Structure 1
Amino acid sequence: MRRFVVWLCSMVAAASFAQEAPPWRMSTPQEQQLDAATFRGFDEGIATALGDVQSVVVILQGRKVYEYYRDGNPDALRDAQSVTKSAMALLVGTALQRGQLASLEQTVVDLIPEWRPLNSDPRSQIITLRHLLAMTTGFEIDDPTGTAEPLAPAAAWTRPVRTAPGERFAYDNSGPLMVQSILERITSRRIADLVHDQLVTPLDLREPQYSHNSAWMRTVDMAKVGYLLLQDGRWADHQVLPPGFVAQLTRPQSAGGPPIGLPYGLGWWTAAGPTYIASGYAGQVIWVHPPLDLVVAVNSTVSPESQQRGQAMRLARGRIFQAAQKRLALNGK
């Protein structure tokens, strides 16, 4: 079943929309008509030409302007894959905001002292939380496809150190589990409880489910995460992240590399524009373009074929980006 939702028709529907996702604002009837005209034909185009894409949510200048659900179910939880890593970085920000962390420059062994004797290389002793988030720890890692099974955190810490921390990017599926261990240690809370308190509650998300180190989320909730970053970590009247923290997340820490081939910040990929991206295997994407005040969230079929085709990224930075430009041009007419 296909579903194309462009917020049309009645003020009742608009009011329901406003209740679902504050602080997104209610569209005027004229805006709704222009949105519908701009995205006309998108539903059929995705359904026929982009078979991997399962769901799409587009937020433009604080309004939800387009939704698509191949299965007709906007409330379905979908496998976010490594978008989970980007959400984990937000929890580091909430810990800083609440004073549970002093800074990103704290060393890992100061935060978890029992790991200190597990690695005899002196360079391991200067690895910081920033290095973990930036994937520049220097550990021996060879995972160009980003699909290696993560190690248990303590075991990951024992790996050989091949380069000085901060010197080289290497995509590391074990890194987020080490960050999780740090967060659970400094807060004395399970990670699911932290997600509930620091993200689900303030952003009015549906409670995620967790499987194989991946969060399952609604596509609209992925869009909310992107919109939180657009607002410099503020949601309605609540400062979820420290002011300026989003700039740190999205500032390149290295030239990056595989599997995406873009510069890498702190849990987020960065691109020219400026654009920043949370990217999960096989086309799970939060694509944020601040110059247009644009957020695109996409979920895709999780398969090697979907990963190879890359339909979600092409859709976000291609046809949807062009439609957003066209829609904003109509504001002056």
Structure 2
Amino acid sequence: MQRALSAQSGVRSFVVAHDDRIVFEHYRRDVAPECLQDINSVTKTVVGLAVGAALHEGVLPPLDTPVCRILPSMREPAFDPLVQRVTLRHLLTMTSGFECDPSVIDDCVLGPCDRFRPGDSRLRFILSRPIARPGARFAYDSHAVQLLSLVIESVTGRTLARYARDTLFAPLGIAASEWISDEEGHTFGGRGLMLRTSDMIRLGLLMMHRGAWRGTRLVDETFIDEAMSVQSDGGPPMNDAQYGYLCWIAPRYVFAAGHGDQFIFVAPRQRIVAATTCDSHDAPTGVRDLFVRHVLDAAR
């Protein structure tokens, strides 16, 4: 395993836990274990866990609730009436119906954007896009995840970053993190979280233990079960996986994925969690294959 990773210069870190204990750690020479890593769209899965925590606390209504009941601005006459039919579940399963192209990654997907000024907000941009019938099809939509950030902020009175720190990170012992905000100060939902690789493992263990951590429930158990089950057939950018709630489903494992091969892998049957971070470029590192061949297959 170490030899295979050393041959892939783009891999920054690769950590494996079995039965809640870290059994393998690889860090490239220029990467310290305490270094915060940009996990890109793995952030989305953390947003999903925050939604599950809000359900557990009873501050969030059922998942089939239309989002416009929480965010009244979605009822503006200027928006397509279909916008009012988008539910929390649609956002979690990437089936909201908004027109989007996951291959288009502009500055406004990546962070605060000068294009969004007062009167032309990010929210208005998200809701003004063409929309098909919600629930009809999967479309990977980084912009729509921002609605869940606004939902968490509305029902808890805290930004998504603060709520995640209070309800997830602090109980898990995640002491260091950074999370960018948009141009109006709302936590970015589609990406922008930075964590240590070892703390990515803690989030994976929380998923493997169905939302419980050392005897304390942090996330609604039913939510975790549904999140890690197939909710749609999925599609680009992961054509070989299905989709749950803001996480991907492969035949033998569930995973959170971010651009540039950032991953959290969870294999409940084998009690294995792994986390990888890589240089954020388009050069493939093959870490999914390495995980299957050198971790899952080796554990048989």
Work out whether the TM-score is over 0.5: yes
**Quick one: distance in 1 between partners of 2:165 and 2:78?**
34
Q: Which residue of 1 aligns with 2:279?
A: 301
Moved more, 129-138 or 242-251: 242-251
TM-score by length of 1: 0.79
Q: What is the aligned-residue identity percentage?
A: 33
Query: Would you say the 8 A contact 2:176–2:196 is kept in 1?
Result: no
Q: Which residue of 1 aligns with 2:287?
A: 312
Is 1:290–2:295 an aligned residue pair? no
Q: Which residue of 2 aligns with 1:228?
A: 206
Is 1:156–2:135 an aligned residue pair? no
1:128-150 per-position Cα deviation (integer Å, ceiling 9, x unaligned):
0110111101111122x363543
Q: Which residue of 1 aligns with 2:12?
A: 54
What pairs with 1:170-249 in structure 2 (closer than 5 Å)?
170-211=139-180, 213-249=191-227
Moved more, 149-158 or 88-97: 149-158
Is 1:263–2:242 an aligned residue pair? yes
Within the candidate set 77, 86, 110, 2:69 is matched to 110
SS at match of 2:148: helix
Q: Which residue identity does 1:45 align to in structure 2?
A: A
Within the candidate set 69, 72, 79, 2:38 is matched to 79
Q: Which residue identity does 1:69 align to in structure 2?
A: Y
Shift, 1:316, TM fit = 1.3
Shift, 1:206, TM fit = 2.7
What pairs with 1:19-30 in structure 2 (closer than 5 Å)?
none
Q: Which residue of 2 aligns with 1:36?
A: none
1:247-281 per-position Cα deviation (integer Å, ceiling 9, x unaligned):
111122211100011211110001112x1110000
- Pair 310,147 (structure 1): closer, same or farther in 2 beyond 3 Å: farther
Q: Which residue identity does 1:160 align to in structure 2?
A: P
Structure 1 stretches of 4+ with a deviation exceeding 2 A read: 42-45, 118-122, 145-151, 210-213, 322-325
Q: Which residue identity does 2:54 align to in structure 1?
A: A
Q: Which residue of 2 aligns with 1:331?
A: none
**Quick one: distance in 2 between partners of 1:283 and 1:265?**
19
1:104-163 per-position Cα deviation (integer Å, ceiling 9, x unaligned):
1111111101221155422221110110111101111122x36354382332012111x2
- Pair 46,54 (structure 1): closer, same or farther in 2 beyond 3 Å: same
- Pair 310,171 (structure 1): closer, same or farther in 2 beyond 3 Å: farther
Q: Which residue of 2 aligns with 1:64?
A: 22
Shift, 1:88, TM fit = 0.3
**Quick one: distance in 2 between partners of 1:84 and 1:322?**
28
Higher helix share: 1
Query: Would you say the 8 A contact 2:74–2:83 is kept in 1?
Result: no
TM-score by length of 2: 0.88
SS at match of 2:99: coil
- Pair 65,126 (structure 1): closer, same or farther in 2 beyond 3 Å: same
Query: Would you say the 8 A contact 1:223–1:297 is kept in 2?
Result: yes
- Pair 118,134 (structure 1): closer, same or farther in 2 beyond 3 Å: farther
Q: Which residue identity does 1:222 align to in structure 2?
A: M
- Taking only aligned residues, the RMSD between alpha carbons, in angstroms, comes to 1.6
Query: Would you say the 8 A contact 1:263–1:270 is kept in 2?
Result: yes
Q: Which residue identity does 1:80 align to in structure 2?
A: I
Shift, 1:72, TM fit = 5.2
Could you list the runs of 5+ residues in structure 1 that have no partner in the other structure?
1-41, 326-333
Shift, 1:310, TM fit = 4.0
**Quick one: distance in 1 between partners of 2:147 and 2:210?**
26
Moved more, 252-261 or 148-157: 148-157
Is 1:321–2:292 an aligned residue pair? no
Query: Would you say the 8 A contact 1:234–1:241 is kept in 2?
Result: yes
Shift, 1:43, TM fit = 2.5
Compare relative contact order (CA 8 Å, sep 6+) and give the higher one, 1 or 2. Answer: 2
**Quick one: distance in 2 between partners of 1:43 and 1:180?**
38
How many residue pairs match? The answer is 277
**Greater C-alpha radius of gyration:** 1
Moved more, 210-219 or 66-75: 210-219
Could you list the runs of 5+ residues in structure 2 that have no partner in the other structure?
110-115, 117-121, 182-190
Query: Would you say the 8 A contact 1:52–1:311 is kept in 2?
Result: no
What pairs with 1:275-286 in structure 2 (closer than 5 Å)?
275-286=253-264
